[in-house]
Structure 1
């Protein structure tokens, strides 16, 4: 065990290697960022979302005063109503009414129903590469779902408080985010290659390597000249 040798990581050596390859490091980072930008901008299809808001009530008679218990009950009903909205009863009728060339499963994957800040308001969102298509489908869902919900639950009411609108900006891809992530990946990969080169380098290049690996004292260094200049 006394003769067992351990390879240690010389951080200074790694830093020196990074400094020597700084130009390559910057070029790799920029190249990866450019690739990420190009893929996001030209190869990925933009996706748009159209959303509508609906409010859930526990009773159909909305003229009477609403108590806090009724609001809490309506909040709990949002999760139940969201399941009904994404059911084939609602979405299949939407497909039939609009004449969509999608199956129920394909349309379901494009529809999201969620509660707004744990309130009795629920948000219906439809995603598509066509903003007008997303708006039409979202509007049709808000038109079809109230009757289906009332028939299934036999209590309460659902009303639209905000109609779907045409999205002007895509929600994905996020070009800036993808560009930054691609640049980070290029930077990390380049650093990993430099680190491996340092770890796998078993050559004696400097007088410090002689003292470190051979445990010998360096008496002197003979420089090599070529054409009158030191190599």
Structure 2
């Protein structure tokens, strides 16, 4: 199919393409506005402090050795942050706090690349609950590491703050995605409709269908012009009547 034919097909069914885009975009926006629950996130930052047995305090230890040792411990601490014991203690006493099993899906602990810092991010259905849970997990993790290792291996350097802007659903991005999918669906439906449409609209289609030459084309008479001609014809032949 040539580009000109593609453009003619799109232009002929443009109303369908626009309708599908509006419907899909409107549906996505409505879902974000009325049905999908809002989720908020809050993040606490901790510093990993290597123990004396890791080379941090020895005379031969360098800053690079300390940093490498700290980064190696982050993976262990991150896994510990999502453990049921830590999550159970962190959510204890909080109103509307989820169960440790449900909370484990909304807690993310990760290392800051190139540093001995790690972050604990918690998602919840309210900004205050997200803040309280993030701070609770950070404090519980720090005390748990101190109890297990006997050293202050973690220190909270930045407490979680209450964030009023939800992280999901992202209305603008979701609506834009809906519009794009609606346009694609509208285009597909236009081409399918066009392939199923066997109406003859052009001279070359008649020639191809009948396998014969074309002598000429009768132009379409505009409605207003055709009405004027019929009125003039009746005026010129007032005695003519139409038999039933």
- Structure 1 unaligned spans of 5+: 1-8
Matched, 1:193 2:185: no
In the TM superposition, what whole-angstrom CA distance separates every residue of 1:55-94 from its partner, at most 9, and x where no partner exists? 1121269888862101111012111110011111211222
| Alignment counterpart, residue 113 of structure 2, candidates 103, 111, 117 | 117
Matched, 1:96 2:77: no
The structure-2 alpha-carbon separation of the partners of 1:213 and 1:117, relative to structure 1 and needing over 3 Å to count, comes to farther
Greater C-alpha radius of gyration: 2
Task: Name which of structure 1's ranges 115-124 and 165-174 shifts more when overlaid on structure 2.
Answer: 115-124
Q: Is the 8 A contact 1:51 1:165 kept in 2?
A: yes
Q: Is the 8 A contact 1:60 1:157 kept in 2?
A: no
**For 1:1-231, what aligned pairs fall within 5 Å after superposition?**
9-59=1-51, 67-98=63-94, 102-153=98-149, 157-223=153-219, 229=226
Q: Alignment length, in residue pairs?
A: 222
TM-score norm. by structure 2 comes to 0.79
- Return the alpha-carbon distance in structure 1 between the equivalents of residues 112 and 171 of structure 2: 27
The structure-2 alpha-carbon separation of the partners of 1:120 and 1:214, relative to structure 1 and needing over 3 Å to count, comes to farther
- Structure 2 unaligned spans of 5+: 228-244
- The alignment yields a C-alpha RMSD, in angstroms, of 2.7
Q: Is the 8 A contact 2:91 2:136 kept in 1?
A: no
Task: Name which of structure 1's ranges 156-165 and 197-206 shifts more when overlaid on structure 2.
Answer: 197-206
